[in-house]
Structure 1
Amino acid sequence: MQAFSALHRLVSAVCSRPALPRCGICGTASDTLQPGFGLLFDIDGVLVRGRTPIPAARKAFQKLFNPQGHFVVPVVFVTNAGNCLRQTKADQLSHILGVPISQDQVMMSHSPLRMFRKYHDKCVLVSGQGPVLDIAKNLGFEKVLSIGMLRESFPLLDVVDHNRRPKLPSSSIANIPQIEAVILFGEPIRWETNLQLIIDILLTNGNLGHAHQNLKVPHLPLLACNMDLMWMAEAHSPRFGHGAFLVCLENIYKKITGKELKYEALVGKPSELTYQYAEYLIREQASERNWSRPIRSLYAIGDNLMTDIYGANLYNRYLEERLARKKRKAVAKMATVTGSSGMLSQEDDLDGPWERELAAPSATSCKSMLVCTGVYNPHAELLSDGGRKSQQAAFHGHRDFQFDPVLVEPGYIVRDVDEAVELIFEQEKFVAQ
């Protein structure tokens, strides 16, 4: 894979060079100094490793926060974590970074599900850990069941762990309504329990009181958040993420049925919808600060080639294609006015359902920045059996995202988040005052 080969050639020089000069924050930004860019920060591997803050994070945010208690640029934290409420994550970040963070600046992997209103009044099963019922209700879902609630009502279904099997003969408690959709928030604690019961739900069309039925196509709607195969905690090497759980679920379903598991939606990085929603939050912040200058550039700082870099580059491609369609539409409109033969194809329609929901993006680019403090290991060599660097690497992205080497090429490679902020300020010629 050419992208990885080029990337490795760049890293040794990038990660060993001296730090860029600091631009710092020396006061309140003047009324005329308004940012034309916004920052999208990943959290794990960029700001923290597990519960341990990365030292460069506080240094970076001292540059982004002025003495009057305001951010000098719009900032959104875009994480694939999905095991807590936004306010909880905002409180954690405030403690880690030493600056006040609002929940409106936090985007969890499940945040875009607020827009899936057609499921909000349906009975949904949620899988994950943490306060999954509260998370679902906070997103707008009204009728929510957890895996634990299913297990209590149908104790004979979860039998992998012999110690958790019913000690006495028991029967199902038929007080569970028929399930109409399944939402996967994140990796659960007991994978075997969740895998078993989710498969049961799909094969009984939402009614666990029945045996597995003839397979209906399509099966119940399945919405999944967080496709990360791996993520970086305190350990020396990456740990399994929710993407690993999805791999298990997909393969078990196919092994049993012979058919592919289908998703109604995949949200969280690297999905375009996640970045559309993040940009919407950036614009909202700029509006609240009465910054009239449009936000034209987004910078996405992450540590994972397969999610952070892939997702930012995918969204950048979307923005470029949208801009091209906009130009074609303008040309066709001018041709109509002048009587020329200008035609606008259906492909040139600018706004899909999510654009209409969130309003058209103002950004024209989304630039990816890779840090060397998380999943990405700048010192790892991809060696073939012959001892040469391999041109191919395993694609860790989700199976429904097509691999494109261009999409895993970072726009910039930096040592840490502090150097990323300094480089962005330098690129934008932005000096906070």
Structure 2
Amino acid sequence: MMGARTPMQMARLLRRDGYGALSRRALQTAAVPTARAPDFAFAFDIDGVLLRSSDPLPRAHETLSYLQSQRIPFILLTNGGGKHESERVADLSSKLNVPIDTSMLVQSHTPFADMEDLKNQNVMVVGGKEDDCRAVAEAYGFKTVVTPGDILVAYPEIWPFSQQLLPYYKTFTRPLPAPIDPTSPLTSLRIDAVFVYNDPRDWGLDAQIIKDVLLSDRGILGTRSLKNGNTELANRGYQQDGQPTLYFSNPDLLWAAKYHLPRLGQGGFREALEGIWSAITGGEAYGVKLQKVIMGKPHQPTYEFAERRLILHRQFLLDRHDSSLGHLKRVYMVGDNPASDIAGGNNYKSQYGTDWSSILVQTGVYMKGTKPSPQPRKIVGDVWDAVAWAIAQEQWTS
């Protein structure tokens, strides 16, 4: 049997094989054959765990290299996004100096790729740099994708406070698939779903357009539903007239960027939009709530999607064990944000009976010395310490 390779030997081998999509040859030649198939795996957050903004954190490379040398499965489970998975893994592979495959990455908007029933409809995608998120949605198979910038360029009067940004928007926006003409609802632009794919850049414009869509008649821009404010209807008639579903991909209020203090994320935009909605409709004082679907950590649907992805990756990685592979008993969720990573790991109920164990690192949102809420099973310094602790718990030997 081959001896276990050191992290340095692994790094040389991985450099030789390149840092693009994970190849079967790289796995078979780099990994150490072991008699025991690992019945545990890892799910790593990215920002604040492996990277700080775009810079690799110390020991992130060594950690992932070690896991790959041992054929211990892991996926990257992030509330980030804004790029297609193939682009993101190429970037991560280069920065972390470790080969990563798209099958190992779940971004906040990755589950949107499974929404087949909406792919032939008109959808509006919000957030991200320029129209990168439109490109992601189209790569997922959505045929007609509109952005708030498209609407602003076609009808500048719709939001007068972004006029100075029109030259910028004109560099990447597209003509609308239909005009906004409330006098002709059958031919006017109708939005069938609204997706917030990534952190919005132009909060005012995005909030205005989303509000218009949610107050419209059946998602037809430029119209106003006659049911709004009807006290005899559920939710006082708001969002009760065929308006599109509003999807948020990421609930994070804060995230760890290069600045030394946490920055507002997509969750901050959602809170602002909910405040606007409450002011317009009367809010909870009148029994009105903004109806929406929130994906991402810590929500159950995202963890269900991630667990299925991890199980498939484990089967591919350990296929030499065939029927003796056995059940995946435990997943260690390693993150820096108690409100998303730790809450999700603690609360997730696996349909496969897998135990999810949360580990909090001190390299991101969590401030050392404070009491996290909720409490993780373990607090450690960094991602290397997290894996070392988990390995000890599993009594894994190289």
Equivalent residue in structure 2 for 1:421, among 375, 387, 392: 387
Distance 1:55 1:373 in 2: 10
- Residue identity in the other structure for 1:416: D
Residue 180 of structure 1: aligned partner: 192
> What is the CA distance between 1:120 and its match in structure 2?
2.5
> What is the CA distance between 1:374 and its match in structure 2?
0.4
> What is the CA distance between 1:173 and its match in structure 2?
4.8
Residue 61 of structure 1: aligned partner: 64
Distance 2:226 2:75 in 1: 45
Deviates more, 1:118-127 or 1:191-200: 118-127
Distance 1:165 1:255 in 2: 29
Residue 250 of structure 1: aligned partner: 274
Cα pair 1:301 1:368 within 8 Å, conserved:
yes
Cα pair 1:39 1:298 within 8 Å, conserved:
yes
Q: After superposition, where does 1:177-256 map in structure 2 within 5 Å?
A: 177-205=189-217, 206-210=219-223, 213-215=226-228, 216-218=238-240, 219-256=243-280
Residue 326 of structure 1: aligned partner: none
Residue 291 of structure 2: aligned partner: 262
Gap runs ≥5 in structure 2: 10-29, 168-177, 181-186, 229-237, 283-287
Gap runs ≥5 in structure 1: 1-22, 167-171, 320-360, 383-392, 394-404
- TM-score by structure 2 length? 0.78
Q: After superposition, where does 1:14-413 map in structure 2 within 5 Å?
A: 28-66=31-69, 72-130=71-129, 131-161=132-162, 163=164, 173-174=179-180, 177-205=189-217, 206-210=219-223, 213-215=226-228, 216-218=238-240, 219-258=243-282, 259-263=288-292, 265-289=293-317, 290=319, 291=321, 292-315=325-348, 318-319=349-350, 361-380=351-370, 408-413=374-379
Percent identity over the alignment is: 31
Cα pair 2:31 2:68 within 8 Å, conserved:
no
How many pairs are equivalent? Answer: 334
Q: Deviations over 1:329-356 (max 9, x none)?
A: xxxxxxxxxxxxxxxxxxxxxxxxxxxx
Cα pair 1:153 1:176 within 8 Å, conserved:
no
Q: Deviations over 1:204-243 (max 9, x none)?
A: 2322233575424434211110000000011111000000
Tell me how large the CA RMSD over aligned residues is. Answer: 2.5
Cα pair 1:29 1:72 within 8 Å, conserved:
yes
Cα pair 2:122 2:145 within 8 Å, conserved:
yes
> What is the CA distance between 1:362 and its match in structure 2?
3.5
RCO higher in structure (CA 8 A, sep ≥6): 1
Residue 358 of structure 1: aligned partner: none
Distance 2:34 2:367 in 1: 42
Distance 1:176 1:75 in 2: 47
- TM-score by structure 1 length? 0.72
Cα pair 1:121 1:142 within 8 Å, conserved:
yes
Distance 1:160 1:107 in 2: 36
Tell me the SS of whatever aligns to 1:160.
helix
> What is the CA distance between 1:277 and its match in structure 2?
1.0
Gap change, CA 1:164 and 1:96, over 3 Å in 2: closer
